[in-house]
Amino acid sequence: MEAGGALGAALEQELLAAVAADEQRARENEAKLRALRQGVHSYQEFRNIVLASHLKPLEKKDKVEKRRQGLWNPCTTQAKAPQGSEVEMPQELAQLPGTPDEFYRAWRRRLKSETEKYQFLLALGGEALGRIFQADLGFGLLGEFLRVLAENICPEDRASVLQLLQSLSGTRRFGLNVDLLSRSEKDSSRDLFGKLQHMGRGHWASDHPSSPESCGAEREGQLMDTRLQEEAEEDRMVMELMRRYQVS
């Protein structure tokens, strides 16, 4: 019974994801036709119409939701703000999304800054992000992810960012999404992978030098060896991902 129930739940989740993907494609196709009928004057204008296809006009009953303080402190802002400074996050994001529609609502309407979006991606993680968009990655989202990651990445997040990139590369029609990246988005991709390369081998060792006089020097050496092995694996992943993302 338990196995049958788990299988039924998995099939139901897969069906819901497929339905959500179909609805997303229908919305985007309708937006593309609407943009053509309106006679847009640039690709960027066309792109913005498609990206906003899921948005609905606010009704009178809609109201601004209360916000709470959250301890989301990106390392990229530590030099500009005192340690422990807080970034406001919407209260409803205490529960991470599980479907494309839930993700779009958070990403487009509730996350107000690039910092929030970066921390949101890290909190979600590569496995969950890949599962949400397994059926299809929405038009323009890949470029936005690359820009947000490039602008906010720090050495401590290297492994997490690599997992995000790896999961995205496994989504359906990923190659087409890469081909459709704009020039600025491709620049963000090169910038991101350049930073990932510079954060590679030896970074942890340079920031954590061991002391021969320390009683824990041997243990520090073992930890350093383990971390260097992990970084070597991450370096191999970077090279593979650069091939998939067409970064030369």
Residues 17-60: pLDDT tens digits? 777 767 777 777 777 667 666 665 655 666 666 666 665 554 55
Does the residue 35 lie in any domain? Answer: yes
Do residue 222 and residue 101 come from a single domain?
A: yes
Say if residue 207's pLDDT is above 80.
Answer: no
Does the residue 62 lie in any domain? Answer: no
Do residue 49 and residue 96 come from a single domain?
A: no
Does the residue 146 lie in any domain? Answer: yes
Do residue 81 and residue 191 come from a single domain?
A: yes
Q: Which residue type does 227 have?
A: R
Do residue 135 and residue 106 come from a single domain?
A: yes
Q: Is the pTM of this model over 0.75?
A: no
Do residue 114 and residue 216 come from a single domain?
A: yes
Do residue 82 and residue 186 come from a single domain?
A: yes
Does the residue 215 lie in any domain? Answer: yes
Do residue 233 and residue 148 come from a single domain?
A: yes
Do residue 2 and residue 74 come from a single domain?
A: no
User: Which of residues 227 and 235 earns the better pLDDT score?
Assistant: 235
Q: Which residue type does 138 have?
A: G
Does the residue 212 lie in any domain? Answer: yes
Per the rule left: phi > 0, alpha: psi between -120 and 50, beta: everything else, 173 is: left
Considering 28, 53, 78, which residue would you say is the last residue of a domain? 53
What's the pLDDT at 169? 95
Do residue 129 and residue 203 come from a single domain?
A: yes
Does the residue 60 lie in any domain? Answer: no
Does the residue 58 lie in any domain? Answer: no
User: Where in the sequence is the domain holding 155, given as residue range(s)?
Assistant: 68-244
Say if residue 232's pLDDT is above 90.
Answer: no
| Euclidean distance between CA atoms 235 and 201, whole angstroms | 7
Q: How many domains does the chain have?
A: 2
Angle CA 244–226–241, to nearest 5: 5
Do residue 149 and residue 186 come from a single domain?
A: yes
Do residue 77 and residue 139 come from a single domain?
A: yes
How many other CB atoms sit within 10 Å of the CB of residue 25? 14
Mean pLDDT throughout 120-124? Answer: 93
* Phi, psi (rounded to 5 degrees) for 71: -85, 70
